[in-house]
Amino acid sequence: MTLHNGKLLALCVVTVIVLFGLQFVLPPYLTLALTRILILSVFAMGYNMLMGYTGLLSLGHAMFFAAGLYAAGLSTYYWGVTLPVAFVLGIVGAFAVSLVIGLLALRTQAVSFMIVTLMFAQAGYLMTLQFTNITGGDQGLTLPTDARSFGLFGMVVDMTSDTARFNLALLIFTVVLAVLFAITQGPLGRLFVAVRENEPRTQMLGFDTYAIKLTAFTVSGTISGTAGALYGLMFGYIGSSFAGFQNSIEALLYTLIGGPGTLLGPLLGTAVMTMLIDRLSGITTAYLIVIGVLLIVVNLWFPKGILGTIRDRWLGWLK
Amino acid sequence: MMDLAPYLLLAGLEGLVMASVLMLTALGLSLVFGVMRVVNVAHGEFYMLGAVGAWACAQFVPGHPALAFCVALVVAPLLVGVLAYLADWAILKRINYDPEGTIVSTIGMLYIIQQLTLMSFGPDARAVDAPFYYTIRTPWFGYSSYKLFTVVMALVLVAGLWVMLKRSKWGLVMRATQFDRETAQNFGIPVNRVYSIVFAIGAMLAAIGGVLVVPNQQAHYLMGGDPLLLSFVVVIVGGLGSIPGTIAAAILIGMSDGLLSVFFSPTAAKIFSTLLVAFVLVFKPEGLFGRSNRV
Amino acid sequence: MRVMNKGQNRRSVLAGLAGTGLLMASPGIIGRARAQSGDAIRLGAPFHRTGIGASYGRWYERTANAALEVINAGGGINGMPVEMIVEDDGTDPKRGVELIEKFSAEHKVDAVFGHLFSHVAAATAPRAGELKMPYFLCSEAHTLAAGGFNRYCFQPSISDVKSQVSSMAPWISENLGKKITLIYPDYAFGYDHRDNMTAAIKAQGGEVVADIAIPPTETTFTRYMPRIPFNTEVIYHVMVGPAVMTFVKELGEHLGSNRPEIFGFIDSLEAVDIGIPQLEYLEGTHFWEGHARYAQADQTEFDKFYREKVGVDENGASVDDARDISTYAHMFSVWETLFAMKQAMEMADYKGPDQKVAFLEAMEAIEGFEASNEFPQGEKLFNGKTHQSFAHQNISKVTDGKLEVVYRTSIEETLYEDETDYTQMSF
């Protein structure tokens, strides 16, 4: 197998090494913030798979994030399964949900697709409220103490330790990055892009575009759910606000800012937005206004995002 | 527990009130989609601004609350209309009404309007006096006469809109633009201006809904969410862009929401209606009423 | 030419974004440099500035500022000034959890206080325990006294729902009626009311004939009213959220003059003016009040002092704006909690986070508080094992559009058997 796009691979490796090194220089709060950024950027990377590479704009990815979060969190909360098993269950749950929703939603296109994903996600959010006696609804559930650590290969990993959390998040991030590199830089990724650029032509060339889109949709939803499962287990709290509209919009925004259709864009976008919101929340209560302003500004003058613009101008391999 | 008949009567009344306000807000959304082929996600925020505008009028207009109410009914929608006109000019026109871009931009507008209201109006819910108070008493329950008044108002306004669309020159221009943008342009219709005005009218309809509803409820910066969702439901079930379909769907959804949420939990009723929208779009994209309308 | 402009435009946006990046990183570093122990006591205050708890949050903040002014004017705590870092939690449990991490890791505060809404507190408390962060609730939630939290969580001022409700039930069944319809918000706080009231009224030989749960974000309520059975003798209501006034108004419209007795928790009307025409029907109905909103005939000098410092007039409204009604029945808990923390810190001669355990052990050793300027709501018993305070509760009747206290429970009436012992847990 030949290696495509060695420059991008090198950049990814350097990024991971730098991220690893950051924990030794950053103050504790920023390490914690970076942990959260890594997990949320996995979410955004999943979103980018669909929106950036395949050109399908979903407004309901919180549904997949929440599917992973609840499948993982509830199974450890009620059945007491160990965290690694719960994590796998979370991924399986997100896979199942994204496959079913994908089968339905992909019958529609463009604006209808956006509304359908929005409505399914809204129904999912409302269900977390409807079944409060299971999900804890608005209040959510806090995972019990024995679900805050796990043993693996004789090692005990403590979820309340900042170092353990950071490195675990980085590990999952790296794995997802590697998987996405393989997908996007390989033949499957070219098919995704072909659908984005010209679906009828791809169809005419003999490809089953519905199947291609369904693959992209399921991969995208499963990765988003992986982020959800990780988030829930790592921070020990699951609640319905993760399933809300705003969470879907944040994934969209992270991707738009960083650069849709670039591998590292979501990481950059998530980092910029998370820190911006965290800083602003100390200054004004209306900090969500920045989301609104950026959505409009980026859409108007900056539709390729940060890395997308750099790619178009200077570094063509940055995709 | 109440007997079934009065129970149904109450549910019916509530459904009627809801249907009538919904008819106004959903018509705004439907008109914008019908003519411009874009979805305005900030629609609920225009409704909220109408309510907040009514509150502001109540603060500044002295005398009887009915006076402030009448002023609000004119001033609030006008201001909201101007705002929408400007938003169309500053944003939507520049992205050339790209359908997906418009959704992203109007989500941005949603956050900006909401948060600016939070910064100026504050996070509290604020009450506005109704123009009159009279409780209609039945043997089983009492009912606010103002709520019935909103039904009458909504019907009058919808009838007015209908006449304008069907009889006036403006209506003709709008319908021509809706039917075929390029031909309309060739006939000298200033399509861009029509778009801005349609966007403003759509927002004004939502704002009127807000003004009418605020004496029953209270003005609050987050109140736009539910009407947006329900308007979506109505517009899609009724068939995107179809005015008669929208009216029929508003009545259906309003009444069934009233009934469903009396017998089941309101959350269950909302789950039902959101799933209805999703499945209608997946399996019957032309809506439950009327023929296909070129989506 | 156009294209060039566009390019420059993009580049300037790029530059702007890079600048923003620097800006974002910097306060984090500055914030860390500022947070050095020993020069001041720092308290994290996650208030409900926005979201469904906003009207409470605003007044909690005002009350906290007033209390800190008094504390700092009197020399602070152990010679150190007290600083408060306020963040908005949006009345959102998710944000609540994130904020306690921020307070702990970035601001390095000595303690966190001020959460009210029980769903936010319930999500935050376990994380506070993990972070070993002293966490003081002003929330009424019974979860703490039921043993649901951990040794770092305290509620030294406001009584919990169980003690409020169980002290109201005997009075309700003796004076108003025995067949009760409950109307409450559909989440943990409401369930506390439902469960405790159902048990307490049963103990009095009465019964709950219907219970109606309403989502806290609901905006219209008429549709729920038909569920009130005709044989109801007392409607018991406790609502929260931005639409409380609509709820009370629609309840009145629905019932008319031929209504059953009504007993409400003032939560249904916190921050709402009772004297408006739509609420006339409330005349003669009863309310629980943690702290009496209207200055009573036998007002203590402590209450007078507290009102003056917070800026509240004798009708419970802001002195600057008579239409701005406070959340008077709850917000005393912020004031008193700060003074309780001060007392415990002084007992432990607290200088910084190293003495966290000594501070909390001192708190557990406190047995109660006397009525004073520091505790204007009145005397209270503090139970070091359950970390919960018990205080007098008020029942007020709406008379001429004002709330008049008609019964004040003894502290004994609010007590129940201990359900946990946090002192047996490790720190």
All residues of chain C having their beta carbon less than 8 Å from the beta carbon of residue A162 are 105
Residue stretches of chain A with pLDDT short of 50: 1
B244 within domain boundaries: no
| Residue A136, pLDDT score | 85
C122:A142 CB<8 A: yes
B20 within domain boundaries: yes
| Residue B290, pLDDT score | 54
All residues of chain B having their beta carbon less than 8 Å from the beta carbon of residue A301 are none
Locate the domains of chain C by residue range.
Answer: 161-298+394-408
Average pLDDT over every residue of B168-188: 83
A109 within domain boundaries: yes
All residues of chain A having their beta carbon less than 8 Å from the beta carbon of residue B116 are 286, 289
- Residue among A111, A293, A300 minimizing CB distance to B112: A293
Number of domain units in chain B: 1
Residue B265 has pLDDT above 80, yes or no: no
A1 within domain boundaries: no
Q: In this predicted model, which residue has the larger pLDDT, C133 or B281?
A: C133
Please report which residue ranges of chain B form alpha helices under DSSP H.
Answer: 4-36, 43-60, 65-87, 99-120, 145-167, 169-179, 181-186, 191-213, 225-237, 243-263, 266-283
Q: Which residue has the tokens 């032509």?
A: A201
Residue stretches of chain C with pLDDT short of 50: 1-14, 17, 26-35
Q: DSSP label at A106?
A: T
Confidence of residue B104 (pLDDT cuts 50, 70, 90): confident
Distance from CA of A84 to the nearest CA of C (A): 21
The superfamily (CATH) of domain C161-298+394-408 is Response regulator (3.40.50.2300)
| Residue C374, pLDDT score | 97
B261:C222 CB<8 A: no
| Residue A228, pLDDT score | 97
Best residue of B133, B216, B229, B267 to probe chain C, by most C CBs closer than 10 Å: B216
C223:B14 CB<8 A: yes
Of the segments B13-27, B163-177, C302-316, which one has the largest average pLDDT value?
Answer: C302-316
Q: Which run of H or of E encompasses A134?
A: helix A132-135
In Å, how far are A73, A84, A220, A234 from A157, measured between CA atoms?
17, 11, 28, 11
Of residues A212, A230, A237, A235, the one with CA closest to residue A91: A230
B291 within domain boundaries: no
- B247: phi then psi, degrees, rounded to nearest 5: -65, -45
- The parent domain of residue B78 ranges over 12-224
Q: DSSP label at B37?
A: -
A253 CB contacts (<8 Å, ≥6 apart)? A269, A273, A291, A294, A295
- The parent domain of residue A142 ranges over 6-313
pLDDT digit string, tens, across residues A260-269 = 999 999 999 9
Q: Which run of H or of E encompasses C396?
A: strand C394-399
Query: How many CB pairs below 8 A link A and B?
Result: 117
CATH number of the domain to which A292 belongs: 1.10.3470
Q: What are the start-end ranges of the E strands in A25-143?
A: 141-142
**CB under 8 Å, gap of 24 or more: what pairs does A313-319 form?**
A317/A5, A317/A7, A317/A8, A318/A8, A318/A11, A318/A262, A318/A263, A318/A264, A319/A5, A319/A8, A319/A184, A319/A261, A319/A262, A319/A263
pLDDT digit string, tens, across residues B78-90 = 999 999 999 999 9
C226:B11 CB<8 A: yes
| Residue A29, pLDDT score | 87
A238 CB contacts (<8 Å, ≥6 apart)? A69, A70, A73, A74, A77, A135, A136, A140, A141, A143, A232
B92 within domain boundaries: yes
Q: How far apart are CA C260 and CA C283, in angstroms?
A: 13
Please give the ipTM for the structure prediction: 0.86
Burial of C302 (0-12, 13-18, 19+ CB in 10 A): middle
| Residue C32, pLDDT score | 42
- Residue among A139, A235, A275 minimizing CB distance to C188: A139
Of the segments B63-72, B143-152, C380-389, which one has the largest average pLDDT value?
Answer: C380-389
